[in-house]
Amino acid sequence: DTGVSQNPRHKITKRGQNVTFRCDPISEHNRLYWYRQTLGQGPEFLTYFQNEAQLEKSRLLSDRFSAERPKGSFSTLEIQRTEQGDSAMYLCASSLGDSGGAREQYFGPGTRLTVT
């Protein structure tokens, strides 16, 4: 257990429905990252927050995706009008400062989304 939690762990939804995932980072971590991972691939960056500010969004994050971190603590990722191509593992990670600069990035267990 890395200290980063995600809920739900699994979500099955029908195409066209909206879904929301939650991530609770390690409490003192100011950076929070969202990734998407499909089978047999490494994680792909979606977006990240520094405290409550969303500082970067990947081109993968279409208009149907929105993420928030309202109080600089937990974060939510919402997908509207889900499509079958959204089926993937959604990973959250947190770090103290910029994790690219040799700081540890701690991942949660992920939320597995299946769109039928």
Partner 1 sequence: KNQVEQSPQSLIILEGKNCTLQCNYTVSPFSNLRWYKQDTGRGPVSLTIMTFSENTKSNGRYTATLDADTKQSSLHITSAQLSDSASYICVVSARMDSSYKLIFGSGTRLLVRP
Residues that bind partner 1 (CB under 8 A): 2, 4, 40-45, 56, 89, 91, 93, 98-102, 104-110, 112
Q: Least CB distance from residue 98 to partner 1, whole Å?
A: 6
Whichever of 78 and 104 has its CB closer to partner 1, that residue is 104
Minimum CB distance to partner 1, residue 20 (Å): 19
Q: Which residue's CB is nearer to partner 1, number 16 or number 55?
A: 55
Using CA atoms, how far apart are residues 23 and 51, in angstroms rounded to an integer? 14
Residues 77 and 110: beta-carbon distance below 8 Å? no
Rounded least distance, CB 81 to partner 1, Å: 27
Judged by CB, which is closer to partner 1: 55, or 81?
Answer: 55
At 24, list the tokens.
């609770």
The residue (of 16 and 97) whose beta carbon lies closer to partner 1 is 97
Least distance in angstroms from the C-beta of 109 to partner 1: 5
